[in-house]
């Protein structure tokens, strides 16, 4: 699970880098960077799908928010429908949540067991909420 969250973080960081570069670009270069950012989002959603296959609680949270995981056959519009600044901030929030989950999976201590369980529930909820915000605006 930690490896999947690491890969999710990597895809979000790559998407953020493309968005940061997009701010300085113009014309077709800007469109290309939009496409790159969108492709990283799709790769991220594929990783979320893998996470939900191994983490039933995460799958339940994703279903609770009505998020549709991407099908390989979907032809998505590669245009960003959200302010790049807002999208960048949402990506930073998602990265932080995935890092927190990654750290929680690394902790193994009996006195903290209940706290860790509650913390994972909260982190899953926040990840799903952030994904819903980004997905609804793309």
Q: Containing domain of residue 24, as a range? A: 2-137
Q: Give start and end residues of each alpha helix (H) in the chain.
A: 2-24, 27-54, 56-64, 84-106, 113-137
Q: Pseudo-torsion of CA 38, 42, 44, 46, nearest 10°?
A: 180
Global pTM value: 0.82
For 10-61, how does the pLDDT look when each residue is reduced to its tens digit (9 = 90+)? 999 999 999 999 989 888 999 999 999 999 999 999 999 999 999 898 999 9
- Is the CA virtual torsion 30, 31, 32, 34 positive or negative? positive
The span from the CA of 112 to the CA of 52, in Å, is 24
Total domains present in the chain? 1
For 93-119, how does the pLDDT look when each residue is reduced to its tens digit (9 = 90+)? 999 999 988 888 777 665 667 777 788
How far is residue 5 from each of residues 22, 27, 115, 122, measured CA to CA in Å? 26, 34, 20, 16
């Amino acid at each position: 699970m930690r490896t999947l969250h690491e890969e999710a973080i990597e895809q979000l960081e790559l998407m953020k880098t493309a968005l940061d570069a997009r701010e300085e670009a113009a014309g077709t270069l800007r469109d290309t960077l939009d496409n790159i950012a969108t492709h990283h989002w799709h790769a991220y959603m594929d990783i979320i799908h893998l996470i939900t296959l191994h983490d039933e609680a995460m799958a339940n949270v994703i279903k609770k928010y009505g998020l549709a995981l991407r099908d390989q056959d979907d032809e998505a519009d590669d245009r960003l429908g959200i302010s790049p600044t807002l999208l960048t901030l949402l990506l930073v929030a998602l990265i932080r949540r995935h890092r927190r989950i990654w750290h929680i999976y690394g902790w193994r201590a009996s006195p903290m067991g209940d706290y860790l369980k509650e913390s994972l529930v909260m982190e899953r909820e926040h990840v799903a909420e952030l994904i819903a915000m980004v997905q609804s605006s793309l």
